[in-house]
Copies of this chain bind each other. A is one copy, B any other.
Amino acid sequence: MSEVAPLRTPRAATLRKQEHILRAAEQQFARFGFEGVSLETIAVNIGISRQNLLYYYPSKEQLYDAVLDDVLQSWLTGMARMAQHPDPTTAITEYVAAKLRFSQERPSGSAVFTREVMTGAPRYAGRLAEQVLPHLQADVRQFERWAREGLIQRVDFTHLMFLIWACTQAYADLAPQFALLLGKPALEPQDFTTAQSLITGLVLGRLKPNAS
């Protein structure tokens, strides 16, 4: 009976260590994908042994799933927020800004997702459909509402969301390439500002009611 308590309520130190492992794993999976990462690399990266890592996450697959779940939550909140704004200009501007901020502050999160999708999402197709699809549909319905109210032009809003994702995620996934071609070691805050106004301008310009 004295065994029950420690199992149900892990100590703060345990939670912190799990979080630490999770972040290190996110960065490694982002760069090399599930198959390309060794638990040894993740472990030494944060100064623990491979065996100790396996104590906290019993298998490589469970660790990977935990990383994906952690990233997904950050994604969905942004999508949920857009469906609530009454004004399309504000909603879109803030959504693009939030998505780009995520790319800037946590590029690994975006990259893990992109890699998973590129392999055909074998480990994640289910959760993708169950959790992302409802939010996507809610956002598309919001676009349709704005269109009916005459606030925006009508286009294929699902594909428009795909393109917003593509543009904002590129500033995480393809950041090394962009930086290289800009002749700098890494993207600077100014590049994200430029990207934000450019992406927002592209989308809002196309949706403006009086435009063709």
Contacts and interface: CB of A to CB of B under 8 A. Distances in A.
Contact of A163 (B128, B159, B176, B202): B202
Contacts of A163: 167, 170, 195, 198-199, 202
A20 to B, nearest CB: 23
A133 B173 contact: no
Contact of A32 (B30, B35, B121, B136): B35
Interface stretch (A9-17, A42-50, A61-69, A177-185): A177-185
A60 interface: no
A162 B174 contact: yes
A60 B83 CA distance: 48
Contact of A177 (B36, B121, B167): B121
A169 B120 CA distance: 16
A32 B31 contact: no
B120 A176 contact: yes
Contacts of A115: 33, 115, 118
Interface of A: 30-37, 111, 114-115, 117-121, 125, 128-129, 132-133, 136, 155-156, 158-160, 162-163, 165-167, 169-170, 173-174, 176-178, 180-182, 191, 194-195, 198-199, 201-203, 205-206, 211
Give the top 4 A-B pairs by smallest Cβ distance, nearest first.
A35-B36, A166-B170, A117-B177, A202-B202
